[in-house]
Amino acid sequence: MITRDAGAFLDAARRCDADFGPPTARAAFLVAPEGFRRAGQSATDNAYMAAAEAFEPERALAQHRALHHALSTCVPTLCFPGDPATPDGVFPNNAFASTAGRFVVGRMRHPVRQRETQRADIRGFFTGTLGYALHDLSGQPHPCELTGSLVIDRARGLGYCGLSERCDESGARLMHEAFGLRATLMFDLAPGEYHANVVLGVLAGRCVLLCGDGFADAAVADAIAAVYAPHALRLSGGERLAFVANCIALDAGAVWMSGGAARALAPVHRRALASAGFEVQSVELDTIEAAGGSLRCCVGEIF
């Protein structure tokens, strides 16, 4: 099922048990921010991106190394080298994703990011080393920026796809099929938003964080919150701007977000995460956030 009808989706979602697959990844991968700089093409539709002078390459590398070390305490985490020709490569979750036995390559909107999807080393790791089947969407015309545009509840097999310049309806359908999801809800993001994972995060299939002002239709946010009640956190606009929703659970007991996001997290929401079984873990990523994404965007999941 793939639909824009929030009510129909909610009815279907409530019938889905948490037996679709593992709720969190078995490993993760990163791409180092080598050649870290402002990508002008990406800046045309990413309002979170800072001015060029905010990009500090050496500090970005140091923060990224700290992220690698921190995540490695949670799950096996590898890091591919960066490429100065792909300045947004530090956010690989938009270009690459996986599900059981399948490696999915997305179709990026901007040419500067389309180069990322052709990386032979990352493709070879999944198809050769891990033996995953390749599902390559990079050559078709519809933008579909994978787990940037599509937030997935891996436990239930549910997808939440935010439509923008980075993903159209056809792209959403292609991703729904690529991940073999039970049900996907398509919805328009609010004007100025580019990826769903900046305004929405699902943690291990049992908790959701969402920013109502990031949705074009508040009823969509209400329907998503209803799937996870009582563990549905309604974030403020300030929390959204600090990338609180751009977080990830890599195991059952911790939620990872940037240091700035953790400081912006309202005490009531920190307590709500604890009641859902999540301890907040954070890494300073303010320099990397200048590129318009945060911790979740940096993490490619291996299922």
The model's pTM is 0.96
Buried b or exposed e, range 136-162, using 16+ CB within 10 angstroms = bbbeeebbbbbbbbbbbbbbbbbbbbb
pLDDT one-digit tens code per residue, 160-212: 999 999 999 999 999 999 999 999 999 999 999 999 999 999 999 999 999 99
* Predicted local distance difference test score (pLDDT) of residue 260: 98
List the CATH number of the domain containing 95. Answer: 3.75.10.10
CB neighbour class for 192 (10 Å; exposed up to 12, middle 13-18, buried from 19):
exposed
Averaged confidence pLDDT in the chain: 97
- Write the pLDDT tens digit of every residue in 27-45: 999 999 998 999 999 989 9
Structural domain that includes position 149: 2-302
Q: What is the mean pLDDT of residues 90-113?
A: 96
Contact 238, 188 (CB under 8 A): no
Whether 59 shows a pLDDT value over 90: the answer reads: yes
Counting the structural domains of the chain, the total is 1
Taking the C-alpha atoms of 231, 152, 188 and 144 in order, what is their torsion angle to the nearest 10 degrees?
A: 160
Classified as helix, coil or strand, 107 is strand
Calpha distance 26→37 (Å, rounded):
31
Residues 246, 232: Cα–Cα separation, whole Å: 15
